[in-house]
Chains A and B, each alone.
Chain A
């Protein structure tokens, strides 16, 4: 089962922050592949959502970039800024908490029905 893009959209920022907390620097394609691997293809980050979010996070000062030439093309590596590290911790624990609540909510509703 592949999760719907609506579900992923709300957690995309947190996914990126988690990836970059575990890896010092990553580029866009690498992120999509890593998420695929980690989730057994259940979550596929769409490029159309990933890059706008990466740009916005860079503009917010959460991410920083360094560019490297790969032959004729340029690859942009993303890493966390100090502000991004703090934000990452916050977002990850917020999502974990949210998932616990959701589990309770869905579980509670299932038991009622």
Chain B
């Protein structure tokens, strides 16, 4: 019976590592196994080196690394079904939440934004990444893997862009455009030209590509161009300023009227409205402009969300509350037959 020295044991362990066995437990198992074979089958004065190089080939077909790969693959396979189950569940939940969110939005029910947020987040950050992990494992060719990666990243970015857009968070447009560009310039050409070479998939690939092109096209038709945006903003600003002029004119007329009704209350409501408008213009344009004279200042109002501003500034929300109180006081004091303020 051959007796292995400590140096030979270390050498075998090093050789296993050199040949690509990385899992420590597997190294220990293989080391013990090889030692058992050597001690059981090699004669006392046999040639260790030659014997080792013969028996190591029993462990593999092409190279020893296969054993490591097989172990990793089996360990991953264990999680495969769990991952697939989570992927299917998260996909179903995302679709249900998004559909429910859209229904709530159309019906003006509370909680629509929350449902959409949950639906899109679970779709983009749970369903799609799991889909990527599983598909990458199934695809062996590099080109096919690139198609999966670009498709999933672009899809994830696109759905997050929609979420950012409806939540009025920054970078929504840039994210959406990057996703569409990734679809159009990377994913689609790779998917199309790789897919049509396979006669089995040819029809599906053409149909899917057409659907993707139409989808991207429809998405882009909903996006306003910069020029259009400016025109719409200029139109809206003009409308606003005309309203302001009309208002100023009406105020002038009522000041001439001697039979002023609830003059003090009306004055305070007007004052509050002017304050709020002035602050909103400053929030949007950064300029200190009196709403009544804004026409001469050639300002352009953009599409800032007033609610964002109201919720951020306590002073503004106080003013809104004051305005509500003043309006209800005013309406209560009105004589019968007079139209209340909305």
Binding site for B on A (CB under 8 A): 27-29, 32, 46-49, 51-56, 59-60, 67, 70-76
Contact = CB atoms under 8 A, between A and B. Distances in A.
B74 interface: yes
Nearest to B12: A73
Given A47-B59, A51-B67, A76 B28 contact: yes
Interface in B18-64: 23, 25-26, 28-33, 35-37, 58-61
Pairs A-B, 8 closest by C-beta atoms? A56-B74, A29-B36, A52-B70, A52-B71, A74-B28, A47-B59, A29-B33, A72-B9
Given A51-B67, A55-B71, A56-B71, A46 B32 contact: no
Given A52-B67, A56-B71, A47 B33 contact: yes
A55 B25 contact: yes
B26 A55 contact: yes
B78 A56 contact: yes
A78 B145 CA distance: 38
Q: Which among B29, B59, B71 has the highest number of chain A CB atoms within 10 Å?
A: B29
Contacts of B28: 67, 73-74, 76
B66 interface: yes
A72 B35 CA distance: 11
B14 to A, nearest CB: 13
* Dominant secondary structure of chain B at its interface with chain A: helix
B200 interface: no
Contacts of A60: 78
B67 A29 contact: no
Contacts of B71: 51-52, 55-56
Interface string B55-95: 00011110000110011011101100000000000000000
Contacts of B36: 29
Q: Which among B35, B37, B66 has the highest number of chain A CB atoms within 10 Å?
A: B35
B3 to A, nearest CB: 10
Contacts of B32: 27-29, 70, 73-76
A76 B27 CA distance: 11
Contact of B70 (A48, A59, A70, A76): A48
A20 B28 CA distance: 20
Nearest to B6: A72
19 contacts: A47-B30, A47-B59, A47-B67, A48-B66, A49-B70, A51-B29, A51-B30, A52-B26, A52-B67, A52-B73, A55-B23, A55-B74, A56-B74, A56-B78, A59-B75, A59-B78, A73-B35, A76-B25, A76-B32
A109 to B, nearest CB: 32
B7 to A, nearest CB: 10
A31 B60 CA distance: 18
Contact of B77 (A51, A56, A71): A56
Nearest to A70: B32
Given A52-B74, A55-B25, A74-B31, 13 more contacts: A28-B32, A29-B32, A47-B67, A48-B60, A51-B30, A51-B67, A52-B73, A54-B29, A55-B26, A67-B28, A70-B32, A73-B31, A76-B29
Contacts of B67: 47-48, 51-52
A53 B70 CA distance: 9
A59 B29 CA distance: 15
B71 to A, nearest CB: 4
